[in-house]
Amino acid sequence: MQVPLLDLKAQFRDIRREVMAAIEAVCDEQGFVLGPRVVELEKALAAYVGAKHAVGCASGSDALLLSLMALGVGPGDEVITVPFTFFATVSPITRLGAKPVFVDIRPDTFNLDPAQLDQAITPRTKAIIPVHLFGQCAEMETINQAAKRKGIMVIEDACQAIGAARNGARAGVLGDSGCFSFFPSKNLGGFGDGGLITTNDATLREALAMLRVHGSKVRYIHDEVGINSRLDALQAAILLVKLKHLDRWTEGRRRNATRYERLFAEAKLLERATLPQTEPGNYHVFNQYTIYAQKRDELKAYLKDKNVGTEIYYPVPMHLQTCFKDLGYRKGAFPVSERASETVLSLPIYAELADEQLAYVVDCIKEFYSRH
Ligand SMILES: *Cc1c(COP(=O)(O)O)cnc(C)c1O
């Protein structure tokens, strides 16, 4: 049996005709950058998320960069985020000359621990970037309250959380702007890079739309120094097709999560592995199914031998990355993030997984622990 961490070919088999028709239509039109299909996708995703506006761009990384640029973040400013995340949450902060200030995560949800937020806020704090890691929303009410008191903006890193919701509102409208990625492994993935920002603020929308095309509103007239970060028509056409299937795929991921819970319990593995916890009020979309596992590295190698794909998201927290060493953080500064990096393992969770594949994964894990 083979169980890859993600099988995009299985997904493509189901939607091949629709996707190929959409690609052919773009080829017939020969209009490739921004244009009507991107506008259509922006409208569809704004509606899906429940936001007034959406602005497409070249990647999730750029969605975060553009959001910070639009808020005028620069040298002398601080931006609060978590150390246990993908690199692109943090890199735009330093790229703009601002300083990342880290707050540790909660062990159960892997998301920013609001109890540690107040002590990180200073008069220089310009923005907070909570990450909805693995597909579950952070505690936005508490984060928003702390931000509002001090006039700080909140940018959601929702790159792993399209369709996730908290108390009935979807990721992307829970802060001042929401950043999404269409990297192929995300729950809504394109055939290449792509990203999008949602917001209810018309002024912010204007700024984002200008910054993504070299800071220009009228062609060849530049009010600001922006960047080239445009979404292309092929991606938009493919994403419009895939968006129609997103809720079904999300349900598939959630069904697999429930199956894992039952199988792990039946195999009496709950002493060896801690399964993902969903906070009450959260609708988890499981971009990753991430467990804490004893003897993690040996388990990962064992599963690889058994043709089960897994991954460590993320093996080195951001405060311990070489490129951020000038920030002066040491090992031990964020113990919950560090422990997560040492013990987490993400298992296959994609919608097309067959029951037998899921059962095989858990059988292999059981076999491993019976020997260790
Ligand atoms: C994928 C991801 C990004 C970056 O998205 P790209 O489209 O790959 O640039 C940012 N933050 C998180 C949490 C992500 O998972």
Residue pLDDT, tens place only, 253-281: 999 999 999 999 999 999 999 999 999 99
88 CA distance to ligand 1 centroid (A)? 6
- DSSP-assigned letters across all residues of 159-202: TT-TT-EETTEETTSSSSEEEEE--TTSSS--SS--EEEEES-H
User: Is 1 within a domain?
Assistant: no
CA distance 317 to 98: 19
Residue pLDDT, tens place only, 51-62: 999 999 999 999
State mean pLDDT over 282-290: 98
User: Which residues in the chain belong to E strands, given as ranges?
Assistant: 53-57, 78-81, 99-102, 125-129, 153-157, 165-166, 169-170, 177-181, 195-199, 216-218, 221-222, 273-274, 282-283, 289-293, 344-347
Q: How confident is the model at residue 98 (pLDDT cuts 50, 70, 90)?
A: very high
Atom of ligand 1 nearest to the CA of 85: 13
What proportion of the chain, given as a percentage, has pLDDT over 70? 100
Examine the domain organization and report whether 307 and 231 are in the same domain.
no
Of the candidates 215, 243, 271, which is a domain's last residue?
Answer: 243
Best of 86, 227, 229 for a ligand 1 pocket test (most atoms within 8 Å of beta carbon)? 86
User: Is 93 within a domain?
Assistant: yes
Q: What is the CATH number of the domain that holds 221?
A: 3.40.640.10
State mean pLDDT over 138-152: 96
> What is the Cα gyration radius of the chain?
21
User: Which residues in 32-89 belong to E strands, given as ranges?
Assistant: 53-57, 78-81
Question: For tokens 């603020």, what's the residue?
Answer: 201
Examine the domain organization and report whether 55 and 18 are in the same domain.
yes
pLDDT at 59 (0 to 100): 98
The three-class DSSP label of residue 252 is: helix
Examine the domain organization and report whether 22 and 139 are in the same domain.
yes
130 CA distance to ligand 1 centroid (A)? 13
pLDDT at 162 (0 to 100): 98
Examine the domain organization and report whether 216 and 253 are in the same domain.
no
Nearest to 211 by CA among 47, 56, 23: 56
Examine the domain organization and report whether 290 and 347 are in the same domain.
yes
Atom of ligand 1 nearest to the CA of 62: 9
160 CA distance to ligand 1 centroid (A)? 7
358 CA distance to ligand 1 centroid (A)? 27
- Please name the amino acid found at residue 342: E
Residue pLDDT, tens place only, 295-348: 999 999 999 999 999 999 999 999 999 999 999 999 999 999 999 999 999 999
Residue pLDDT, tens place only, 218-266: 999 998 999 999 999 999 999 999 999 999 999 999 999 999 999 999 9
State mean pLDDT over 54-75: 98
Q: What is the CATH number of the domain that holds 349?
A: 3.90.1150.10
User: Is 16 within a domain?
Assistant: yes
131 CA distance to ligand 1 centroid (A)? 10
Q: How confident is the model at residue 82 (pLDDT cuts 50, 70, 90)?
A: very high
pLDDT at 215 (0 to 100): 94
Indicate whether residue 187 lines ligand 1 (CB < 6 A). no
The CA–CA distances, whole Å, from 134 to 159, 253, 284, 288, 336 equal 9, 12, 8, 5, 16
CA distance 359 to 128: 40
Question: For tokens 């994403």, what's the residue?
Answer: 239
CA distance 245 to 225: 38
Nearest to 345 by CA among 294, 307, 282: 294
Number of independent structural domains in the chain: 2
pLDDT at 319 (0 to 100): 98
Indicate whether residue 114 lines ligand 1 (CB < 6 A). no
User: Is 2 within a domain?
Assistant: no
State mean pLDDT over 132-155: 97
Examine the domain organization and report whether 282 and 300 are in the same domain.
yes
Indicate whether residue 193 lines ligand 1 (CB < 6 A). yes
The residue nearest atom 5 of ligand 1, judged by CA position, is: 60
Of the candidates 243, 271, 297, which is a domain's last residue?
Answer: 243
Best of 67, 95, 131, 181 for a ligand 1 pocket test (most atoms within 8 Å of beta carbon)? 181
Sheet arrangement for strand 282-283: 169-170, 165-166, 282-283
Buried b (16+ CB within 10 A) or exposed e, 136-166: bbbbbebbbebbeeeebbbbbbbbbbbbbbb
Atom of ligand 1 nearest to the CA of 186: 1
Best of 157, 197, 230, 314 for a ligand 1 pocket test (most atoms within 8 Å of beta carbon)? 157
User: Is 234 within a domain?
Assistant: yes
Examine the domain organization and report whether 222 and 254 are in the same domain.
no
User: Is 151 within a domain?
Assistant: yes
Residues in the chain: 372
Nearest to 100 by CA among 370, 345, 324: 324
Examine the domain organization and report whether 56 and 203 are in the same domain.
yes
Q: At what angle do helices 355-371 and 296-305 cross, to 10 degrees?
A: 130
What proportion of the chain, given as a percentage, has pLDDT over 90? 99
Of the candidates 243, 274, 308, which is a domain's last residue?
Answer: 243
Its domain, for residue 192, covers 8-103+110-243
